[in-house]
Amino acid sequence: MNSLTLALIGAAMVLAGYALYSKFLAEKIYALDDSRPTPAVMLDDGVDYVPTNKYVLWGHHFTSVAGAAPIVGPAVAVIWGWLPAFLWVTIGTVFFAGMHDLGALWASIRNRGQSIGALSGRYIGARGRNLFLVVIFLVLLMVNAAFSVVISNLLVGTPTAVIPTWGALLVALAIGQAIYRLKWSLPLVSVVGVVALYGLILLGDNVPLALPETVLGLPDRSVWIILLFLYAGVASMLPVWMLLQPRDYINGLQLFIALGILYGSVLIARPEVVAPAYNTNLPEGTPSLVPLLFVTIACGAISGFHGMVSSGTSSKQLAKEGDARFVGYFGAVGEGLLALGSIIATTAGFATLAQWEDTYQAFNDGGVNAFVQGGGRIVEAGLGLPQSLAATIIATTAILFAATTMDTGVRLKRFVIQEIGQIAGVNLNRMLATVIAVGVGLALTFGAGADGSGGMRIWPLFGTTNQLLAALTLSIVTIMLLRRGRSPLPTLIPLVFLGAMTIYALLVQLGTFWEQRDWLLLVLDIVILISALWVIVEAFIAMKSARAYPGDDDQELALEMEAVAAGSAPRRGGSSTGQGHPQEGTPPPAP
């Protein structure tokens, strides 16, 4: 199989999904209506609720969901062969991920921007909400711990990426001021931002930076992890227009340029895929393809984390309901293209099958390093860029997206902690909630591995927990559709399939952790499994009730939105969680 053929077929499938299936979902299933005011408009507080240009918002949404996972998952899963990974990424993007991300965004904007955890209380019940929040908190905990380790390893392994990684923060801050204070046009900002970012990449390639092997007795990887958590904590408290939006927007442009470089190199070099379509020569200890494929590739096919981003930050910035199709579904398409690029880089970026097998000697040997190496070779062969520069571009791309996911994850965890505090009757401010979020993340990262490697230790559970959250999110969207008398099949079929695969995977992993005597992961697995089964039972009871007694949910929610906007949550001074934590901030009007 030639990599160009694989790229063309895959890209055509996911783009056709956006052109056809997303239009059907937007018009017939979710019934998006631009005449309905969004939470960003009615609850504008200048901090979390900010009406935003859909292209800028798409940049935030896309780069928040397109972290390291759509690279790592496919790069690991190709050990079973490129065909299973390719089919799950393409079919999953069209019928699972796009529908899920758009659905979560729609559910939140119809409920004044509330997170998916808060919505579970409305549509499933108090018990279901409490258990749902447990699953959400664990997913965010794993995301932040795992991604901090991925980024730190790349910073240590690719010192040429250090300058562009941290310099991108200054570029983002400048872009935020240019858009909102200086009123620059978006095309001008885009050109200046991209030129500045690639200038930093060229500088970094010529001036590699590395920490000493130990700093105050800590290894360099541990120091990077601590710095990353401190950055994410500060970034999560800043108004979204100041750093989060512009950083994610410029990173979104960078990703599409990097994908253009990768796919352009495939077009020119047309390397052959050396990995087998279906691998029958698996290394000893490789788990079975079913169900592990469907949880190993999460982001890039469907991911529960996307639902948290859709309902946690993106829904609070949507200026018009109709923009949800572009932001939500097309965001999933972009991530599907990234996952497809990861498959190509890790199967066609090697000269021979023997070289590929030498890299994939065990299940977890694949990953972001295989992507950087394979992608770098393809770019070098296609465009003639030096190996070092090609690797710097690919590594910087991976780091920037993992970092944006990490700081969004800390912000979302802050929201969840505030919601849990409200349930317990404790009103936590942003600062205290953020300190808790960062502290717990660091505790898991170093508690599960003294050298800071704990993030990768819990990686096996991330995929299953993440997919489980996607299934639970689909259950809420399904209930909302049933209450409106609409067909639930586009959400119900993926819900049943994903729920079955995830529960199956949790049971398989339970046996594995028992055999390995890994008590931490065993306990986490049991907590997640019990919570999931309980929430699923509660959700299906709620579905049965919604089907039997449908109501006019939209009218009820519209009246509630008007009451909130006029009373407890005025236009200026809304809520970071959608539930009554006034914030302050007065950014200039969005572009």
Q: What is the pLDDT of residue 570?
A: 41
**Would you say residue 573 lies in a domain?**
no
Residue 567, burial from CB neighbour count under 10 angstroms (0-12, 13-18, 19+): exposed
CATH number at residue 155: 1.20.1740.10
**120 contacts 422 by C-beta, under 8 angstroms:** no
CA–CA gap between residue 393 and residue 154 (Å, rounded): 12
pTM greater than 0.75 (yes/no): yes
CA–CA gap between residue 259 and residue 580 (Å, rounded): 41
Amino acid symbol at 377: R
For residue 219, give the H/E element and its range. strand 218-219
**Would you say residue 585 lies in a domain?**
no
Average pLDDT value over all residues in the chain: 84
**Would you say residue 173 lies in a domain?**
yes
Q: What is the pLDDT of residue 582?
A: 30
CA–CA gap between residue 346 and residue 344 (Å, rounded): 6
Q: What is the pLDDT of residue 573?
A: 34
**333 contacts 351 by C-beta, under 8 angstroms:** no
In the chain, the number of structural domains is 1
Select, from the ranges 57-71, 466-480, 531-545, the one with the highest average predicted confidence (pLDDT).
Answer: 466-480
Q: Which residue has the higher pLDDT, 444 or 278?
A: 278
Q: Domain limits at 80?
A: 3-566
Q: What is the pLDDT of residue 380?
A: 86
CA–CA gap between residue 231 and residue 182 (Å, rounded): 26
- Give pLDDT tens digits for 459-470: 667 788 888 889
Q: pLDDT-based confidence at 591, cuts 50/70/90?
A: very low
Burial state string for 455-484 with b = 16 or more CB within 10 A and e = fewer than 16: bbbbbbbbbbbbbbbbbbbbbbbbbbbbbb
Tell me: pLDDT of 202 over 50: yes
**Would you say residue 385 lies in a domain?**
yes
What backbone phi and psi angles, to 5 degrees, belong to 582? Answer: -60, 140
**Would you say residue 332 lies in a domain?**
yes
